Amino acid sequence: MKDYLEIKKQSLPNHIERSFFKAWRLTAREHGYKGFMAMPRFLYRRTMDHFWQVLSRVVPYSGLRVWMHRKRGVKIGKGVHIGPMVTIDDVYPNFVIIEDGVSIAGQNFILTHNKPLEYHKHLSEAMLAPVVIKKNAWVAIGVIILPGVTIGEGAIVASGAVVSKDVPPNTLVGGVPAKVIKEFEMKDGIPVGFKKL
C-alpha cells in the first residue's frame, strides 16, 4: 500500500461531530485524498483497513496477523510475532513501524493519533505521530503505546504498562505511565541479566 501521508509528527484538527457526508469529505481531505474520486477512494481504503484490522484480531496464527497488518500499511520487519487481539491504530496504521524480531504479546493497543474534542483543544494536542518499535523489543500483554513513542532496541515493556514516552534500548519498563525499572546487563550484544541498582 502506498503511503498517503509523510511519516512525521503532524497537527490534526480537533474532533467535531458532523453528519456522515460532511465528515467523510473532511476526513478524506485530512488523509491526503484529492481529486474527483477522493471520497470513494478513501472510503474503500478505510473499509478494507477496518476489515483487515477486525480479522487480524481473531485469526489463530501470528503469520496471518502480520500479513494482514502489512496489508493495512503497517511497516513490519522479519521474524515479528503479533499475538491475538492486538489493535494497531484504526485510522493511521501506516504510521506504525515494527522492526525485525519484535514480539507483541496480545491485547495491546498501538495508537498513532490523538484527536480530542474541540471543547478540550486547550488541554490536549490533536496530533498524528509515528510509533516505532525497534529490533528485538518485547511488548508484553495488555500494553498501551501512545502516539509518537519509540521503543528502543531489545527493550521489554511489562504487562499493563501505558507507554507515553520513548523507551531506552535494553531496559525493562513498566507502570502507568511506564518508567524504567531495570537496565540489562549485556555481553556480546545479548542481555544476560539485569544490572544491580
Tens-digit pLDDT profile for residues 65-99: 999 999 999 999 999 999 999 999 999 999 999 99
Domain contains 141: yes
CATH number at residue 144: 2.160.10.10
Q: How far is CA 194 from CA 140, 165, 174, in A?
A: 18, 22, 15
Where in the sequence is the domain holding 180, given as residue range(s)?
17-190
pLDDT digits (tens, 9 = 90+) for 4-45: 567 888 888 788 888 888 888 888 888 888 888 989 999 999
- Spatial separation of the C-alpha atoms in residues 29 and 190, rounded to whole Å: 46
In a domain, 196, yes or no: no
Q: Is residue 56 part of a domain?
A: yes
Candidates 132, 30, 39, 160; CA nearest to 91 is 30
pTM for the model:
0.90
